[in-house]
Structure 1
Amino acid sequence: MSAILARLVNPVVWRIPGHGARKLFEFSLAEHGSMLDLKAAARLTPSADRRAAYVRHLLDETRHAQMFALRSAELRKRAGLESLGFPNADTEALFEKLGEVGFLAFVHRGESRGRQQFETYRDWFARQGDDRSRALFEAILQDEKQHESYTWELLVELTGGESAARAELRKAVLWEAWRTWRRAGRFLAEKLYFVLMLVLYAMLAPFRLMAAVMRPAKPGWSLPSAEGQVDAGERPALPAPSRTNA
């Protein structure tokens, strides 16, 4: 599905001025975020062999993030724009949330989806004669295929068979859908709050205007009301300080 969508939007995504560079930087952020999750996986897995696999993977993701960021900077420089810099993504602590089996299912799905998407981009740039961008995706695709393969092998190993591994992939689909729904809910809630505050402000504006007309603000200093004040002649005399002899 992601490959089909990418193929449909390619003529728009890569031709809008400035959008291609920003999209490449989004890929850079995604790769950096994946690196952070893999770093946690390498730290937390009880297996030395899987730790080594995660470390190799995170090194690839680090390199991919740099490659995407540099290509993004090149395109922005060509358009006379400042570079977006290098990525600084957040981590979702996926290994801790999902466990190692769920984490591997999630990563495998992401690598498979990314590989299909990047293949459409590689082919697009090949047809457009952009050899530099084509070579970028071609190089990254070699790693994506290896990541897709090893995560499937580990998933089968940990679950005890391909049938159980596919069941974990189905669970990952449901979890991703739940995560997307929650993110959309938070986004809509923020926008709805903003709209409601604007409506509330608009509803209260006439009352604020009426208050300003009925009780206009006076310039300068205002003295406190005379109520409760005591005239100078009515003030009680303070007792004189007593003097004691040493």
Structure 2
Amino acid sequence: MKNDLNGRIALVTGSVQGIGLAVAQSLAEQGARIALHGLADVAQIAQATTVMQEAGASDVRFFEGDMRDPDAIEALIDAVDAWGPLDILVNNAGIQKTVSLKDLTRDTWDAIIAVNLSGALHTMRHALPKMAERGYGRVINIASVHGLVASKDKAPYVAAKFGLVGLSKVAALEYAHVGSKESGGVTVNCICPGWTDTPLIEPQIMARAEKYGGDREAGKAELVAEKQPSTRTADPSEIGALAVWLCAPIAHNVTGTSIPIDGGWTAQ
């Protein structure tokens, strides 16, 4: 799909691997200027930068910012704005840990809520007013099927993702009137992936694999089939393709939505 984003600046948090990297790559293919971000060493930053350049990004820079720290997030948005006006914000950074309520620690709860929910709040509250001034802006929050349905042993993650869906609806309502069809307006949406081939689900795959003598593929097949009727994982590039479409001017009236890519999981 061709959706010319040439010169648009897109910040994708947590974009050195997995879904974030794929979304950034998809935006780069449309000519966007990519602000990379994440927990990464020099080699990972260089590798992600190369991916963006080869995809066709008109420019690429890496920005630091601890998503647990509101002051660091404000500095991150300011640094990107100093590079150029932020047009597209993709809140992808996230952490996960499966643990029962009985065994959940306060530190685990605080960390997951801080990164997966509060971090997105702080990027949005700094970025959206400036998008509104220009009449165009896109916020795409990478939520989860766990922002729509629950699973055992994921209380902080589910709470954060449900919160992110709700937060996105509020922001969408507050900015729905901004801009015009011609300018593209300011929209806020969630993408809600189901099982997706990323490092985030690797611990769950390997836990299942133990039943099959360490056979990763067998563990993965059992994990996916339990919830996802298609029995297929998504590729991160599929999330990237949807993000690109949401950035198009034609999507000016698509706001406040939570779109699953889940093989029928939440249709049950």
- Fold match, TM over 0.5? no
| Between structures 1 and 2, the one with greater helix share | 1
Which structure's CA Rg is the greater one?
Answer: 1
| Between structures 1 and 2, the one with greater strand share | 2
